[in-house]
């Protein structure tokens, strides 16, 4: 039985992957001309919107003497450090002004940068691209460019509704993610009289297949314990309902449920804040329940309960993890967790060698467990 490499002991760069987009803040929390503090992958950030409403993200440390820039003054275009008044363009971080310079001092102000990060707004969230750490010499490094656009929720029609749920977990991203994909905790963590009891446990069989940087639970009729499925069954033929669940690095779980012209889709992320702290964000889009009274509210209620049950569980788990216990992964229920660790290792190896990433799964696999 393989032992789990304890996330608490992993180096930061093996625990939290750089070179990816991460969800930073719900878009409606960030107003024009305002500054917000945030942390992603242990990087302190200041996030805001310029006067036109375009979001930006800077490292929350002045390149001069490290003053957190979120204490500074922001005029909707430039951010002024409160210590010596250096000013920075918020979109590329370039220094605009050093007030202490005299007219005959020729220092090149424009060569100085407060680190800035690519920023995008997608499905009511501000996403930030965290590049691989650059060579030393911060303070003079130009902003990195993101190789691709931020992830989006799959939408299968023009009209849809969008909702968001969030919870903070006092565990590493690894525990957050393997908790999210873990099929065996359902009957114990998510029991409720109106939902299921531990006696509803039964054998399940699911097919998985490799996809780039991740794996897919192949299209199947959803588990009878799935919340959207139960609601969909209210007015769609049970057999016509299929769901596909994907996981891709670094932290993305997507689920798409189709029932004829109706659909429900979600994009869930587990974002590393620090090495022992992560945040789960579920953003869902759907075109169903528009005629069902309380449909969305009911769904949100069920999801909120689930997320809260997971949060509470991980809070308790964190108590145990403090003491660096030995951990294990078992067949078949912990296979998705194993693939996650293997995908991460393969990704890092490919980055190290410059070779193509070698996918840990050779082909489709069927897993069996009771839940």
Cα distance between the two ends of the chain = 21
| Residue 86 binds: one of Fe ion, ligand FES, none (C-beta under 5 to 8 A by kind) | ligand FES
The interface partner of residue 62, options being Fe ion, ligand FES, none and the CB cut-off 5 to 8 Å by kind, is ligand FES
77 burial level (CB within 10 Å; 0-12, 13-18, 19+): middle
DSSP 346-369: HHHHHHHH-SPP--S--S-EEEEE
CB of 1 to ligand FES, least distance (A): 52
Beta carbon of residue 35, minimum distance to ligand FES (angstroms, whole number): 15
The CB-of-362 to Fe ion minimum distance in angstroms stands at 29
Find the angle CA(36)-CA(57)-CA(164) to the nearest 5 degrees: 65
Nearest-5° Cα angle at 170, 169 to 176: 55
- To Fe ion, the closest distance from the beta carbon of 236 in angstroms equals 25
Among 32, 54, 65, 290, binds ligand FES (CB under 6 A): 65
3-state DSSP assignment of residue 109: helix
**Least spacing, CB of residue 111 vs ligand FES, in Å:** 15
Among ligand FES, Fe ion, none, what does residue 300 contact (CB within 5–8 Å per kind)?
Answer: none
Stretch that binds Fe ion, among 42-50, 138-146, 290-298, 303-311 (CB under 5 A): 303-311
Residue 310 interacting with Fe ion (CB under 5 A): yes
Six token digits for residue 197: 């009891």
Establish if 71 lies at the interface with ligand FES (CB under 6 A): no
Nearer to Fe ion, 187 or 296 (CB): 187
From the list Fe ion, ligand FES, none, partner contacted by residue 60 (C-beta under 5 to 8 A by kind): none
Q: What is the nearest approach in angstroms of Fe ion to the Cβ of residue 116?
A: 36
Would you count residue 86 as binding ligand FES (CB under 6 A)? yes
User: Where do the H-state alpha helices sit in the chain?
Assistant: 12-15, 173-180, 186-189, 227-232, 295-321, 335-353
Burial of 104: CB neighbours in 10 Å, binned 0-12, 13-18, 19+ = exposed
The neighbour count for residue 185, using CB atoms within 10 Å, is 14
Residues that bind ligand FES (CB under 6 A): 62, 64-65, 67, 81, 83-84, 86
Residues that bind Fe ion (CB under 5 A): 310
């Amino acid at each position: 039985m393989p032992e789990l490499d304890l996330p608490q002991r992993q180096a930061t760069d093996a625990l939290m992957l750089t070179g990816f987009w991460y969800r930073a803040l719900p878009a409606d929390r960030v107003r024009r001309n305002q500054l917000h503090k945030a942390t992603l992958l242990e990087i302190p950030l200041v996030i805001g919107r310029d006067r036109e409403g375009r979001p930006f993200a800077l490292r929350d440390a002045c390149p001069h003497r490290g003053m957190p820039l979120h204490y500074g003054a922001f005029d909707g275009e430039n951010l002024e450090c409160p210590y010596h008044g250096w000013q920075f363009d918020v979109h590329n971080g370039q220094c605009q002004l050093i007030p202490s310079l005299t007219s005959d001092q020729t220092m090149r102000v424009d060569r100085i940068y407060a680190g800035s990060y690519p920023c995008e707004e997608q499905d009511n969230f501000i996403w930030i691209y965290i590049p691989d750490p650059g060579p030393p010499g911060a303070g003079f490094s130009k902003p990195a460019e993101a190789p691709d656009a931020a992830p989006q929720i799959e939408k299968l029609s023009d009209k849809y509704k969008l909702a968001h749920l969030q919870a903070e977990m006092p565990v590493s991203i690894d525990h957050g993610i393997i908790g999210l994909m873990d099929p065996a905790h359902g009957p114990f963590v998510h029991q409720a009289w109106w939902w299921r009891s531990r006696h509803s446990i039964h054998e399940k069989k699911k097919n998985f297949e490799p996809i780039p940087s991740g794996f897919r639970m192949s299209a199947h009729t959803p588990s009878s314990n799935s919340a959207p499925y139960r609601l969909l069954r209210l007015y769609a033929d049970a057999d016509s309902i299929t769901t596909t669940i994907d996981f891709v690095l670094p932290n993305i779980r997507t689920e798409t449920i189709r029932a004829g012209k109706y659909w429900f889709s979600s994009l869930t992320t587990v974002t590393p804040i620090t090495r022992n702290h992560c945040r789960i964000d579920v953003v869902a889009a759907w075109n169903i329940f528009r005629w069902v009274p309380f449909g969305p509210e009911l769904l949100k209620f069920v999801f909120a309960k689930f997320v809260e049950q997971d949060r509470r569980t991980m809070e308790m788990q964190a108590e145990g993890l403090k003491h660096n216990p030995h951990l294990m992964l078992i067949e078949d229920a912990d296979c998705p967790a194993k693939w996650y660790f293997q995908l991460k290792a393969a990704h890092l190896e490919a980055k190290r060698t410059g070779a193509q990433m070698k996918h840990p799964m050779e082909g489709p696999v069927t897993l069996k467990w009771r839940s």
